Amino acid sequence: MPTLAVLFSAVGPTAPDATASAPEGSAPPTPVPVSPQGGVLLSRADNERVAHLVATALRERGHAVHVLGVWAGVPVERLRNVDAVVNLLEGLEGDSSREAEATEALQRAGIPFSGNAADTLGRCQRKEVCRRLLLEAGVPVPAGTVLHAVPMEWPAGVPAPVIVKPAHEDASEGIDARAVARDLAGLQAAVRRVVVEMGQPALVEQFIDGREITASLLGSPPQVLPLGEIDFSTLPAGRPRIVSYAAKWCPESDEYQCTPSVGARLDATVTARIETIARRAAAALKLRDVARLDLRVDARGGAWVIDVNPNCDLAPDAGFAKAAARAGLSYGEMLDRVVARAVAARPDRRAAASA
């Protein structure tokens, strides 16, 4: 029976590294707390809840499972006796920009872990790098450019309207109705918020006004699960059809309540097109075990990748688990496939002991 350790990002220094210091002075006085590395400080304490749900489901599948909160650093010595780690880490010391660093510690220690390699996490954390790799692989991405300062004129090659996103963030941090700009004044204000207030480069991307589709990739090699869609149909008129920060994280907001994730009903041609794009993106970014692509489909049926989320949320109520359920997989069956590669990669302890 494999022994697994589920690692999650704790919201403060707790055991085992209770002596670790809090990131003192790391949050400047801006509306969005930003770390010295430029990442938004994690404020979503959901990671621990998910870790316990994952552990319970994997125990029901016959694994022995520990759950471990991580704050300042990955306690690799405590993981020597586990067969594999279920990596739910989203950063270190509350800093989302350190997600790849946390995973690299597992790699360096030679501990098999589920989810994506540090390289892949690092590439996807930088939207401009991710976009370039996708483009090189022939995956359609909307026209876009990265700005480091507030522009004096409209950027060439990016038709209006646009959406302005922090280039190194995920989880819709910094994205609300003001992120969609149709004129220069709106663009300047949106870029100012990202560059000045969040301390990050701003990705200005053509706004694709269409359906939003999610493609979940499970296992290694990745299988494209039945597509999901964000249903914007009940969103009050006048609201941009986007998955804003509130839509993801504020259950009391109408943005949250009016953007449910449902099964996508697309014609066969568009479905096939998106599946091909998803497989190509997975190869280009070396995605494995678990990942979700966000796409937009325009009026002509053209599909555009707007975001890649390796190690996306594994909560039972999140889009990934819903997609697995559409494929007929229970939560536990889905998790078994997420961890299968790492479990198979575990060193043979009996061989090591008898050597």
Ligand X SMILES: Nc1ncnc2c1ncn2[C@@H]1O[C@H](COP(=O)(O)OP(=O)(O)O)[C@@H](O)[C@H]1O
Give the one entry of ligand X, Mg ion, none that residue 169 binds, where binding means its C-beta sits below a cut-off of 5 to 8 angstroms depending on kind.
ligand X
Strand partners, 165: 203
CB-nearer residue toward ligand X: 106 or 175: 175
Provide the strand spans (E) within 93-210.
113-114, 144-147, 162-166, 180-181, 202-206
Give the one entry of ligand X, Mg ion, none that residue 289 binds, where binding means its C-beta sits below a cut-off of 5 to 8 angstroms depending on kind.
none
CB-nearer residue toward Mg ion: 70 or 167: 167
Q: How many residues bind ligand X (CB under 6 A)?
A: 20
- How far is it, in rounded angstroms, from Cα 172 to Cα 56? 29
- How far is it, in rounded angstroms, from Cα 134 to Cα 333? 30
Q: Directed axis angle between helix 127-136 and helix 268-285, to 10°? A: 110
Phi-psi region of 56 (alpha: psi -120 to 50; beta: other; left: phi over 0): alpha
Give the one entry of Mg ion, ligand X, none that residue 271 binds, where binding means its C-beta sits below a cut-off of 5 to 8 angstroms depending on kind.
none
What amino acid is encoded at 208 in this protein? I
Site track 288-327 with Mg ion (rule: CB under 5 A), x = hit: ------x------------x--------------------
Give the one entry of Mg ion, ligand X, none that residue 292 binds, where binding means its C-beta sits below a cut-off of 5 to 8 angstroms depending on kind.
none
Among 35, 96, 172, 200, indicate the residue that binds ligand X (CB under 6 A). Answer: 172
Among 84, 171, 198, 227, indicate the residue that binds ligand X (CB under 6 A). Answer: 171
Site track 242-281 with ligand X (rule: CB under 6 A), x = hit: xx--------------------------------------
User: Does residue 169 belong to the site contacting Mg ion (CB under 5 A)?
Assistant: no
Asked if residue 279 lies in contact with residue 224, where contact means CB atoms within 8 angstroms, the answer is yes
Nearest Cα residue to 12 out of 84, 76, 69, 82:
69
Residue, CB closest to Mg ion: 307
CB-nearer residue toward Mg ion: 17 or 294: 294
What lies within 8 Å, CB to CB, of 348 at 6+ separation is: none
User: Does residue 205 belong to the site contacting ligand X (CB under 6 A)?
Assistant: yes
Distance from the Cα of residue 104 to its chain's centroid: 17
**What are the residues binding ligand X (CB under 6 A)?**
142, 163, 165, 169-173, 175, 205-208, 212, 242-243, 294, 296, 306-307
